[in-house]
């Protein structure tokens, strides 16, 4: 059963000009966390702010803006607000445009870059995999391509998270309606088995993903994640301060092979964080490549 609080953001037009402090909150979130709410999602942001405002006991957006900027609770409150904004987003096949770009554009480019190498093997990393929907989704896509584009190639998906309970959930691999809402009957039947009122990931799918606990602040551990072709790190870096974010991004840069790709959340940006990555556009999606590779191409 769908939990109303968890429904993804809908585009609802505003009845009048946006509240100036709501816009300031939107801009603050972008500046500090790197996640952007476009104008057609301001109603959603307004709703989420109002939930938090009730919790902290303030009545106006202006006062709530102070909670996020000058009051002692500001850091904790920003985390709470980010949780409200991103809650309910994790599910299988969450970002269809991003996955379409992976399948039709990115994978062919990566294969072309690696084509002359003797080892025909791909490494993908789901950094901050939460309850596992993302790495299992990536597995399904690569398994589907294994008879076509990826014929003759092997792959591994490394999925890491800080939260032990999330990792237990990943390894168990049982998911309810909400999480599986984007699964077509094709994928449900091929990669899942019914388990009561849930769907259980099939053994074939499970064996493609290697789950482990990694703290992205642990430099030595993160540096170990070498030779990656593609890294997904969606809605994780938004919780990091600028210094930490820069450090993690620098690690990702070193983790990735020269042709590598970095994917973030749908409305997440690296602007102001790192010039070593260059933004690239796909149909209705964005990603990042190593900047020096773009320069070398000119």
Residues at the contact surface with other proteins, assessed by CB under 8 A: 11, 13-14, 16-17, 30, 36, 38-41, 101, 104-106, 109, 267, 269-272, 278-284, 286, 289, 294, 297-298
For residue 240, the SS3 value is coil
Q: Which is nearer to other proteins, 102 or 129 (CB)?
A: 102
Q: Which is nearer to other proteins, 104 or 204 (CB)?
A: 104
Q: Which is nearer to other proteins, 212 or 294 (CB)?
A: 294
Name the minimum Å distance from CB 58 to other proteins.
26
What's the order of all strands across the beta sheet hosting 192-195? 174-175, 198-201, 192-195
Give the H/E segment covering residue 280.
strand 277-282
Structure token digits, residue 291: 């900047």
Under the phi-then-psi rule, with left for phi > 0, alpha for psi from -120 to 50, and beta for the rest, what region is 236?
alpha
Q: Which is nearer to other proteins, 45 or 150 (CB)?
A: 45
**Which residues on neighbouring strands pair with residue 198, listed in sequence order?**
195
Name the minimum Å distance from CB 223 to other proteins.
26
For the chain, give me the number of helices (H) and strands (E)? 13, 10
Name the minimum Å distance from CB 40 to other proteins.
5
Name the minimum Å distance from CB 98 to other proteins.
13
Name the minimum Å distance from CB 34 to other proteins.
9
Cα(266)–Cα(273) distance, integer angstroms: 17
Structure token digits, residue 220: 């030595």
Q: Which is nearer to other proteins, 51 or 104 (CB)?
A: 104
């Amino acid at each position: 059963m769908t939990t109303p609080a968890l429904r993804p953001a809908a585009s609802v037009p505003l009845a009048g000009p946006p509240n100036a402090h709501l816009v300031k909150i939107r801009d603050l979130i972008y500046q500090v966390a790197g996640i952007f709410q476009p104008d057609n999602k301001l109603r959603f942001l307004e709703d989420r702010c109002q939930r938090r405002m009730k919790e902290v006991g303030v009545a106006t957006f202006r006062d709530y803006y102070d909670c996020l900027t000058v009051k002692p609770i500001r850091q904790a409150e920003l985390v709470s607000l980010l949780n409200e904004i991103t809650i309910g987003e994790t599910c299988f096949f969450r970002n269809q445009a991003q996955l379409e770009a992976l399948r039709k554009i990115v994978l062919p480019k990566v294969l072309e870059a690696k084509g002359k190498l003797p080892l025909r093997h791909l490494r993908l990393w789901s950094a901050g995999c939460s309850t596992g929907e993302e790495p299992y989704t990536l597995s399904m896509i690569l398994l589907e391509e294994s008879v076509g584009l990826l014929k003759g190639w092997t792959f591994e998906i490394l999925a890491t998270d800080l939260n032990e309970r999330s990792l237990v959930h990943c390894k168990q691999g049982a998911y309810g309606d909400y999480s599986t809402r984007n699964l077509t009957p094709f994928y449900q039947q091929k990669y899942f088995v019914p388990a009561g009122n849930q769907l259980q990931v099939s053994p074939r799918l499970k064996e493609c993903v290697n789950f482990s606990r990694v703290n992205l602040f642990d430099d030595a551990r993160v540096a170990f994640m070498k030779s990656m072709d593609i890294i997904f790190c969606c809605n994780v870096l938004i919780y990091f301060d600028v210094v930490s974010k820069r450090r993690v991004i620098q690690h990702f840069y070193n983790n990735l092979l020269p042709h590598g790709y970095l994917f973030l959340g749908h409305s997440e940006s690296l602007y102001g964080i790192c010039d070593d990555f260059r933004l690239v556009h796909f149909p209705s999606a964005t990603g990042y490549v190593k900047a020096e590779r773009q320069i070398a191409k000119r």
